Structure 1
Amino acid sequence: MQDELKFQYWEEFNQLMKRRLEELEELKRLGINPYPYEYPVNAYSDEILRNFRDEDPPMSVSIAGRIMSIRRMGKATFSHIQDSKGKIQIYFKKDVLGEKYDILKLLDIGDIIGVRGEVFRTRTGEVTVKVDDYQILAKSIRPLPVVKEKIDEHGNRIVYDPFTDKEMRYRQRYVDLIVNPEVKQVFIKRAKIISTIREILDSHGYIEVETPILQPVYGGATARPFVTHHNALDMDLYLRIADELYLKRLIVGGFDGVYEIGKDFRNEGMDRMHNPEFTMLELYVAYKDYNWMMEFTESLIYNVCLRVNGTSRIKFGDNEIDLTPPWRRVPMFELLKQYTGENLEGKSEDELRAIARRLNVDVSSKIGVGKIIDEIFSELVQPNLIQPTFVIDYPIEMSPLAKRHRSKPHLVERFEVIISGMEVCNAFSELNDPIDQRYRFEEQARLRAQGDEEAMTIDEDFIRALEYGMPPTAGLGIGIDRLVMILTNQKTIRDVILFPHMRPEK
């Protein structure tokens, strides 16, 4: 039944495209340019609806938008057009438009038009623009998706709507934005989140900078990179996996506070929380530590949420999240003990593998102590952390760029912020001892030789920068896409990225 309905849909679709192409040619034959160069717009749907008053003098407007409905009734036609702000009804009359009224038969849902006229209220109470003149601005030759229904032999209503398919919506975001205008609000809010972050960071005197995306040595995180080739230099380069090492070079150079909001790239799997191209904020502030950064982070996210949503209590899925500071702070090993019943602190690699087997956590034979602990934490602890939580004090094996804990040298001064089971932030008291940093890089190189493709490489120039001296520094990374997910109540990262990566179309 579904295959039959699908075939019928495409037959109708092809006929509609053929008819629209014929209409396009007829418009040209009549001397009408269906794709003109400009149109004078002086009003938008939302402000017309908001400002119209029956007792006010007549309001003349010039608006433009996409036709979303047409109701032809002989010598009168009603339509709704959608602009960037919303929808409004427009009203065509033959005795006003004359011969130009007859050209309306060549217009379809999806066409973009400009109209001029006075605003009035219909007998049914709807604010409407009475059209004195109109112009075709773009003829749509591909029909917008609309719901198709059929009743089967058992009387069941079957709906075939090609644009409820998530994959099609992500591939054809331009259509998604047209037929699901509420989607646009997510991305308007995303832009406001980013601009608010910038405003707050700038108000603290931190300098926004740009660092290389193409890097000869990738680093700053444990991830597999994308590789490309520079023809003129005849050398391989890597798309950055993090901004960290270049930003810390600037702290060495004398900046007290720098940040970057930009794209990072990791050649890894895709799921509801991962896209190979994603947006990160990284911030580094000299003479601060991770304790200071915890207070700064909760204040930053709280204030962004307050300015964007008007409240610090938000809905995410089935949970209500309260972002009001202070947030809970819990050591990582304490959480591991709470949710697994196992004490993982100080255990050897073999002991950790045995614990993972008991807990039914599958771990690769190619990874070391840090990754084993991370796998157990991600699978058995992280999903339970719903309210904003600072997970603090990580094992040194998990954090090759973080400073050793001042009272527990087998740990580092690091925190992650977990909200609704998602890692949103990662931060350190930054490692500024060049000898310790070289040792950590060499340990990462050993793990790479063991088969861990995500282990870091040795960056000799970064070590050289540290040898000149880097002041005590606090660093922070925030996954912008995940933060937007939480602040807009979107369950997958693809719903907050305009053009997420997809497999090739068949």
Structure 2
Amino acid sequence: MSYSISEQELLRRQKKEELEALGINPYPSATFASNTSTQDILSNFNKAPDNFKQISIAGRIMGRRIMGAASFVELQDASGKIQLYVHRDTLCPGDDKSFYNTVFKKLLDIGDLIGIEGYVFTTQVGEISIHVNKLTLLSKALRPLPVVKEDDKQVYDAFTDPEQRYRQRYVDLLVTPTTRSIFQKRTQMIQAIRQYLNSQGYDEVETPILQPLYGGASARPFKTHHNTLDMSLYLRIANELYLKRLIVGGYEGVYEFAKDFRNEGMSRFHNPEFTMLELYVAYKDYKWMMNLTEELLEQVALHLYGTTAVPVGTHTIDFKRPWKRFTMFEAIQHFTGIDISQMEELELRKAAATLSVPLEASAGKAKIIDEIFGAKCEPNLIQPTFITDYPVEMSPLAKQHRDNPTLVERFEVICNGKEICNAFSELNDPIEQRKRFEEQLQLGQRGDEEAMMLDEDFLRALSYGMPPTAGLGIGIDRLAMIMTNAPSIQEVIFFPQMRPEH
């Protein structure tokens, strides 16, 4: 990528050189010790003004008004913004006023990082501000920030282009307050989930990202090569099979926040690198897991907002229990008027054609049902809804339904038109699991690039006996979209995957 230096950058480089000529290091290595934050000051100064008579704080210059012997600076730290009052005679108490007249007024810029010492006071117009006694340059910014300007209710130079925002997230975080709040909410959401699962006595664990066989989901993997072992490895598409190995090993409840990778299409709901929570609990089934899922997500909404009702676009999504429940075939019949429950592959293809649902030539029965459901049902499911009891062909890792051998004990949670959770009564019969894997191999031979591989070590683990187990996966990024009212997955991932810059 070529790089040309703008006129403003050249000017800032000249200022850097002038600072160095004055003996001021633009990038000092000394520590600066803050003893407060802007949020602390703004929240607590009026309650306890004596606590803010000697403060030190560091942050970035986001605005300046130079007014002769006195100036105002807008300082931003991680918690917010506050006004600084800088007076020449306070900053330079002796005869030499060059630090104020030259360094402060001429050589500092918006974007520079400074540390200040002083005391907090209230201006004549009632604004809480810091009277600066000492100012230290901590880092010189050589690129100008995109400073937003407003004039007669019109906004200029706003940093709003999505591609720029995602590529330069560091700038987006500096100049777009809503971006920081989205990621703070995401962090709070993950903490709430972790706190809930820990309170249930489940163990947080870690499993391999580089795997000799990919499994646990139907997806196309990323492939790499390990030179020392001279073998192919895959970035995991799911951590399911490793967590089940831990259940075999005696754990009764394990979970992991996992980075997964799928070599598939990209959209506002898909990023090739994404975060999943997976949970496995021994001696439980999918009905029990439905109740836990309702309770967990209800608690997350309450933790974030103090209510179960969350605004998402033009909707208000309510996570209050209980949620609506459909079987998969009931949902398809409800939204299409067609009962596909007894159809074989040829009839399903005709039904898909009738419904104008496009199919790939390699699609088998499970894929066709999934495409019909995705096109005709998912977009209509806005409130959190359980879809249960999937055809056995769609779920190679789920246990056969106790009442209907053509189905499996599985549910998905659809919310705001997309799947956010997937769960099974886990298949623990090693012979049946081998049969399912072999059927997946046949789909792969037909050209299905998302078919699962046969994992002999996982089958060996099952052969030692895995207790009845309920498993749950939650798409953390999609859940974050809902919980932060974000329109795309790129808004809730710090650095989403993008094409190279030209």
Same fold (TM over 0.5): yes
**Equivalent residue, structure 1, for 2:108:** 107
8 Å Cα contact 2:112-2:141 kept in structure 1: yes
Equivalent-residue separation in structure 1 for 2:362 and 2:48 (angstroms):
77
Q: Which residue is equivalent to 2:317?
A: 321
Shift of 1:159: 7.1
Select which of 183, 186, 197 maps to 1:187: 183
1:29 and 2:25 correspond: no
Q: Does residue 16 of structure 2 align to residue 15 of structure 1?
A: no
Secondary structure of 2:251's counterpart equals coil
**Cα distance in 2, alignment partners of residues 244 and 122 from structure 1:** 59
Q: Aligned pair 1:83/2:84, yes or no?
A: no
1:346 and 2:339 are equivalent in the alignment: no
After superposition, give the CA deviation of every residue in 1:380-435 in whole Å (9 maximum; x if it has no partner).
Answer: 10000011100000011110000011111101000000111110000000001111
Residue in 1 that maps onto 2:267: 271
* Greater Cα offset, 435-444 or 46-55: 46-55
CA drift of 1:54 comes to 9.0
Aligned to 1:441: 437
Instruction: Determine which of 31, 40, 49 is the counterpart of 1:47.
Output: 40
Residue range with higher mean Cα deviation, 49-58 or 303-312: 49-58
| CA displacement, residues 95-129 of structure 1 (integer Å, 9 cap, x when unaligned) | 21222212112111101111111111111111111
Shift in Å, 1:164: 1.1
1:185 CA displacement: 1.4
Please report how far the alpha carbon of residue 161 of structure 1 lies from its aligned counterpart in structure 2 after TM superposition: 3.2
Match of 1:95 among 44, 69, 89: 89
Equivalent residue for 2:126? 125
Mapped partners of 1:146, 1:193: distance in 2: 31
Matches within 5 A, 1:141-152: 141-147=142-148
* Alignment-derived partner of residue 161 in structure 1: 157
Once the two structures are TM-superposed, the CA of residue 60 in structure 1 deviates from its matched residue by: 2.0
Q: Deviations over 1:334-375 (max 9, x none)?
A: 110011111111211111111111111100011100011100
Aligned to 1:6: none
2:474 matched to which residue of 1? Answer: 478
Deviation at 1:280, TM superposition (A): 0.6
Alignment partners' CA distance in 2, 1:129 and 1:303: 40
User: Do the aligned residues in 1 keep the contact of 2:159 with 2:176 (CA within 8 Å)?
Assistant: no
Change over 3 Å in CA distance of 1:401–1:128 after alignment to 2: same
8 Å contact 1:54–1:120 — kept in the other structure? no
- Aligned equivalents of 1:484, 1:385: Cα separation in 2: 18
**Aligned-partner SS, 1:320:** strand
How far apart, in 2, do the equivalents of 1:352 and 1:461 lie? 35
Whether 1:296 aligns to 2:295 is no
Partner of 2:451, secondary structure, is: coil
Counterpart residue identity of residue 39, structure 1: F
State which of 228, 251, 255 in structure 1 corresponds to 2:224: 228
Tell me what 1:215 maps to.
Answer: 211
**Residue type at the aligned position of 2:14:** E
Which residue of 2 is the match for residue 66 of structure 1? 60
Q: SS of 1:350's equivalent?
A: helix
Identity of aligned residues (%): 59
What secondary structure is seen at the aligned counterpart in 2 of 1:191? helix
Match of 1:469 among 465, 472, 480: 465
State the SS of the aligned residue for 1:326.
coil
Cα distance, 1:188 vs structure 2: 1.3
Q: How does 1:377-392 map to 2 (within 5 A)?
A: 377-392=373-388
Give the distance between the partners of 1:494 and 1:286, measured in 2 at CA: 35
Q: How many residues align?
A: 491
Shift, 1:181, TM fit:
2.3
Q: Hey, what's the Cα distance between the residues in 2 that align with 1:55 and 1:502?
A: 49
Q: What letter matches 2:42 in structure 1?
A: L
3-state SS of paired residue (2:173): helix
Any residues of structure 2 matched to 1:217-256 within 5 Å, and which?
Answer: 217-256=213-252
Maintained 8 Å contact 1:424/1:479: yes
Secondary structure of the structure 1 residue equivalent to 2:6:
helix
1:452 aligns with 2:417: no
CA contact (8 A) 1:54 1:121 kept: no
Deviation at 1:144, TM superposition (A): 0.4
Deviations 1:14-73 (A, max 9, x none): 111111111000000000011112212111111111122399446221111100101011
Deviations 1:473-498 (A, max 9, x none): 10000011111111111111111111
Match of 1:374 in 2: 370
For 1:211 and 1:389, locate their aligned partners in 2 and report how far apart those are by CA, in whole Å. Answer: 30
The one-letter amino acid of 1:64's match is A
